Amino acid sequence: MSEPLPVITVLRPADPDTPLHTPPGLEALEGRAEIRFTTADQLPQDIAGADALYLWDFFSGALQAAWPHADRLKWIYVAAAGVDKLLFDELNESDVVVTNAQGIFDRPIAEWVLGAVLAEAKDFARNYRLARTKTWDRRETKRVDGSRALIIGPGAIGREIARLLRAVGIEVTGAGRTPRAEDPDFGVVVPSAELPEHVGEFDIIVNAAPLTPATRNLIGPQTLSAAKPGAHFINIGRGASVDEPALIAALQEGPLGFASLDVFAQEPLPAESPLWELENVMIASHMSGDVHGWREALAELFLANAERWLAGEELINVVDKAAGFVPRKENR
């Protein structure tokens, strides 16, 4: 009698009109795994007997409620870089391996940050506004070469940001849990616990930190009020890493000169948020990593790991569940 096929439950959005409602490429596993599609409402019954969970609906928090039914689960793939929406105590304490999509979004997000830096320095927003009234306003703009940037979160995304900013002559420094005097991408990494003591030295402050208990509200009133006058704050990490009322105050009253924001404490950003009304704010809709082909790339990464999993090989992008991210292999 042949062995039963391993079961992979795929959690997909309930709305069938969502772009790429079903992840592509699963036919490659035909005959080697049973694919079971489900939605958040049906997950408790469809996770029973499943060996793996494919979180294609990557912002869903449905697993926690379904956890008592996860009687055979060994591996979870989250089709996202951040895992803060997924992790909970019972999962963290289990032997279930979690992998994420680290590497898919690094370059697109870094390009977005570089674009935001250049757009603010060259005053592109005012050009668009002046064009509506056909106003010719020749003026001086800022030079980015020679400016200094602090990148909070020296992970894979933060490092790609550092490489692109250095390419246009920006001096970069990192901020993370573990300070380092010699780092290949940042040179120096200062302790994130001491942000108020360091942010005043930088023209650009980028939050690229994952959301963990240690980074929730990491960037608060003390840090924001200590920023260099006119500094540009960029957030592509998580909205909950920043005290949003303190950020609004720092933009309205100083010292911040501008903010480029892709993530917020509540998403979509509520219509009543003062951030919508501030001219020194650029708002994006949590889209800094969403380039053409990103969903296909997420699916390809799952298939690459599924091949490893079926062969009993070591998985890539294994998340340290206690830390909330994939640790670096070097310079830990």
| Rounded-to-integer distance, Cα 261 and Cα 282, Å | 6
Per DSSP, helices labelled H in 290-330 are 294-310
- Nearby residues of 124 by Cβ (< 8 Å), 6 or more positions away: 118
Whether residue 238 lies in the annotated active site: yes
- Quick check: helix, strand or coil at residue 175? strand
Catalytic residue among 21, 163, 166, 286: 286
Whether residue 198 lies in the annotated active site: no
* CA angle, residues 143, 144, 145, in degrees to nearest 5: 95
Rg of the chain over Cα atoms, rounded to whole angstroms, equals 22
Amino acid at 298: L
Q: Which residues are catalytic?
A: 238, 267, 286
